[in-house]
Amino acid sequence: MKRWPEFIAVAALAAVLAFAVFAQDRPAPAQPSSTAKDAPASTRGNSFAIRDVRVFDGEHVIENANVVVRDGRIAAVGADAEVPQGLDVIDGAGKTLLPGLIDAHTHSWGNARADALRFGVTTELDMLGDWNRLPQIEQRRGSLAPTTQADLWSAGAAVTAPGGHGTQYGMDVPTLAADGDAAAFVDARVAEGSDYIKIIVEDLSAYGTDMRMPTLAPAQVAAAIDAAHRHDRLAVVHVSGRAPAMRAIDAGADGLAHIFIDAAVDEAFAKAARSHDSFVIPTLSVLSGIAGTGEGAKLAADPRLQPWLGGEQVATLEASFPLHARDPALGERLLASVGALHAAGVTILAGTDAGNPGTTHGASLHGELELLVRAGLSPAEALNSATAATADAFGLDDRGRIAPGLRADLVLVDGNPLADITATRAIDAVWKNGHAVERALARPAGPAAAAPGDTLVDDFEGDAIAPRFGAWHPTTDAIAGGASVASHALVAGGADGTRGALAVRGEIKPGFAFPWAGVIFFPAGDATQALDFSARTELVFKVRGDGRRYNAMLFSGPSMQGMPSMQAFTAGEDWTEVRLPLDGFAGADLAQLRAIAFTAGKPEGGFEFFLDHVEVR
């Protein structure tokens, strides 16, 4: 767990480089209908019936039931429900009908909601996002019109400290100063349209590191919770440690985002959470990624999910936190903690924290259900946690159940997930607002162009910075609100007495939790294109500098949003050749190489290093 802060630094850089897609509400890319799975007959409208199907209504099972949908809402459900003449009828024999699934913890931007809907997740609860879109998403979720996206509820901007967690993702977010008025801060979030209030308590102490991050004081947390309740809003608190989790519960938090990782749940905590009627969204999907147990990669390889996963989704599922080693003991402790909470009667809600390494929107909720069952919930209880229980907890009174009058957000699966929870992945059909969703197969990304035949990137021997291919650019945390600076310039005096070298100079400045500055090389000229370097084996360069430790990072995969891979090097006083094996960049996809970065991080202060004769051999 010692390298968690290093991951955050790299993730911040990745998020900044991918900022063009953050907080945007774009539809999914158009895909040819010829690749789509045959849709049920009900695609002609939002009125239809399903006959002789097993129904899990959000709480209970009804065998051999009929379900009637009229104008996008459930009209009747039951073993004796009459199917009116004239409706399209779908045979449900051998299948199970579920309410549309609800992911209780996501960060939804870009194509997230289209990706979610394709996997039967018809509603997402965003736990930090762009508050400017709140009126738009509220209007959309009230409609029964056809849509290609899941509905969204959102916290908008979170309550967090300056430089604290939630400020590192490339957006200029409001923050609550140490002497700030928490009630006034919450008032502003409510005025913006936040559906609930997300409060972040995170100083990194739970991760076993000496690094600390600014966070809210306990009195501010309590004041923010009280203010949320005065506005009839839920207060959901992000925690990673037991002590702040207990303080949040005692202060009246309605729920916790994440199960804490620094200790197992004990009887005292479970009893407190139960007595305060607080729910917990464990987010085992993302925490399993921290433990390195490979749950995301298992989902990516599941043949029931694989055909509908886009290349970027596969990349994020297979991405991992750059830990020194897997920590399966942490994974088992997390499962045991969720089991202890469940046994104590604490409400467990299914949420994934999708948008992070090892997760993706839609598919990861199916993995979360399996993890909850492994933690001790029955399949029916796990399904409840992703349907009726979340709807009840967040006051979503028109969904989460299959009952007359509710909207027809439905998922039909082959088999019986009440016996085998993984059967939720065998999706036969999805309906949103009663309209059948065309589950277009994800188009595989075309192969990247081959890397240039010349292995030399740049020897800096010209009169200007002009690599053999690609482009060099400075990169700093200033794009994400930091103050660090960097510059790069051609200078005389290269390695081995050659004419020139690339000087990279700058300063790591305070004011940003995980600062960086340096230089980045795009082999194809910019981040939108990748090149195939799969035949190469080494990154080789010559370096000298101030004796600091630096990082070489590879960005690869279907997009720049994938997590970079990293190896460290030292820039000493004398020119030294550094040879980094490409297979040492864990998880890098050399067939889709997008960028190579050379960056400084903490400690704060000035830095200077020189590069020469950069090759990818």
Domain-ending residue, one of 358, 376, 399: 399
Asked if 183 and 105 sit in the same domain, the reply is yes
370 lies in a domain? yes
The sign of the CA dihedral 373, 376, 378, 382 is negative
53 lies in a domain? no
Who contacts 144 (Cβ-Cβ below 8 Å, separation ≥6)?
46, 71, 72, 73, 407, 433, 434
Structure tokens at 312: 């970027």
What is the pTM for the complete model shown? 0.76
409 lies in a domain? no
- What does the pLDDT read at residue 10? 37
Quote the domain boundaries for residue 466: 449-616
Asked if 127 and 248 sit in the same domain, the reply is yes
Asked if 481 and 383 sit in the same domain, the reply is no
Structure tokens at 290: 């921290």
DSSP states of 541-603 as a string?
Answer: EEEEESS-EEEEEEEESSSTTSPPEEEEEE--SS-EEEEEEGGGSTT--GGGEEEEEEEE-SS
Provide the 8-state DSSP code for 132. Answer: G
What is the total count of domains within the chain? 2
pLDDT digits (tens, 9 = 90+) for 143-153: 999 999 999 99
Asked if 363 and 259 sit in the same domain, the reply is yes
| Count of CA atoms in the C-beta half-sphere (13 A) of 486 | 29
Asked if 462 and 394 sit in the same domain, the reply is no
pLDDT digits (tens, 9 = 90+) for 266-304: 999 999 999 999 999 999 999 998 888 999 999 999 999
Asked if 368 and 493 sit in the same domain, the reply is no
Average pLDDT score over residue span 579-583 = 96
- Determine the Cα–Cα distance for residues 472 and 524; give it in Å rounded to an integer: 11
Strand partners, 159: 199
282: preceding bond cis by omega (within 30 degrees): no
- Residues 389 and 381: beta-carbon distance below 8 Å: no
Asked if 294 and 371 sit in the same domain, the reply is yes
Q: Which CATH number belongs to the domain containing residue 219 in this structure? A: 3.20.20.140
How far CA 428 is from CA of 28, 205, 565, in Å, comes to: 21, 45, 37
- Residues 87 and 46: beta-carbon distance below 8 Å: no
What does the mean pLDDT of the chain come to?
A: 89
Give start and end residues of each alpha helix (H) in 213-265. 218-230, 242-250
- Residues 308 and 441: beta-carbon distance below 8 Å: yes
Strand partners, 429: 412
Categorize the per-residue pLDDT at 45 as very low, low, confident or very high, splitting at 50, 70 and 90.
confident
Helix axes 267-275, 242-250, angle to 10 degrees: 30
Q: Which CATH number belongs to the domain containing residue 608 in this structure? A: 2.60.120.430
Q: Which amino acid is at 571?
A: A
- What does the pLDDT read at residue 397? 97
pLDDT surpassing 90 at residue 322: no
Asked if 470 and 373 sit in the same domain, the reply is no
- Residues 54 and 383: beta-carbon distance below 8 Å: no
Region of poorest pLDDT, from 21-25, 42-46, 460-464, 494-498 = 21-25
274 lies in a domain? yes
Pairing of strands 435-436, 48-56: unpaired
- What does the pLDDT read at residue 442? 54
Categorize the per-residue pLDDT at 29 as very low, low, confident or very high, splitting at 50, 70 and 90.
very low
Return the CA Rg of the chain: 26
